[in-house]
Amino acid sequence: MTRENTIIYGMGLATLEAVNGNACMETSDVSGIKVSGILLDAGEKKSETLLSVGDKKTDVSHEDNPICFSDVYFRVGGGKYAGKVGNCVTIHSNDVIGDNFWVWRADHSTNVGWDVNTAPNGIVVNGDNVTMYGLFVEHFQEYQTIWNGNGGKLYFYQSEMPYDVPKQNKYMSHNGKVKGYASLKIGDKAEDFEGYGIGIYCYNRDADIEIFSGAEIPDKKGIALHNVVTVKLNGHGQITHVINGQGDAVTGGG
């Protein structure tokens, strides 16, 4: 999409499939785009991303006419293909509003497995002043969400860690020094961010693993998370801390 004020409304949850490693949807860095009611499905050949909003980080402001995505869903595996992606969503543009994103690496159904439907990250936000209302990111193999932009706002975040980690040494962050990957990673260069209602869950179904922290954020005055909870749903192991090595461990199912 290259024109301002482009509108795409999916009927009956229209599905776009990645072909030959392409993105399902790419936008230019223009104002007023409105997209809703679609599902973006990863293909057999690895795509770097399924949705790219802008192609690089810029200083262009869309404050007066934001870019909006509502009821947008992403699937890696679990259907026709053993999908493969670098991440499902990459937001470079500023002043983007997201309303109800479900970003899912499949944990059941067909074409599913640790080495089958591969996907390191769910969503990467590089743009400034991005707001998300209802962001659901599940089962990716490294960070579920990476938020690098400034002025970010996140209202209601639900995230499950991957069920199918085969062993601890396959799930180590910070160049193998930290056990597990946080679900929500706020980038080290971000100066301000606020999140409200953050739920992070583990079900280590296939191996006894530890996840050191549910969320990882820079220790800066302008960055804050409010009402954060970690839960062990079932299975093995634990989430040891809530944020940055602070907060008690969840070790029992439920």
Write out the catalytic residue numbers: 160
The answer to whether the CB of 67 falls within 8 A of the CB of 27 is: yes
**Residue listed under structure tokens 């960070």:** 143
C-alpha distances out from residue 213 to 34, 107, 181, 217, Å? 35, 22, 7, 10
Query: How many other CB atoms are found less than 10 A from the CB of residue 107?
Result: 17
Tokens of 126: 């590089």
Structure tokens at 131: 């707001």
CA angle, 95 as apex, 184 and 196 as ends, to 5°?
35
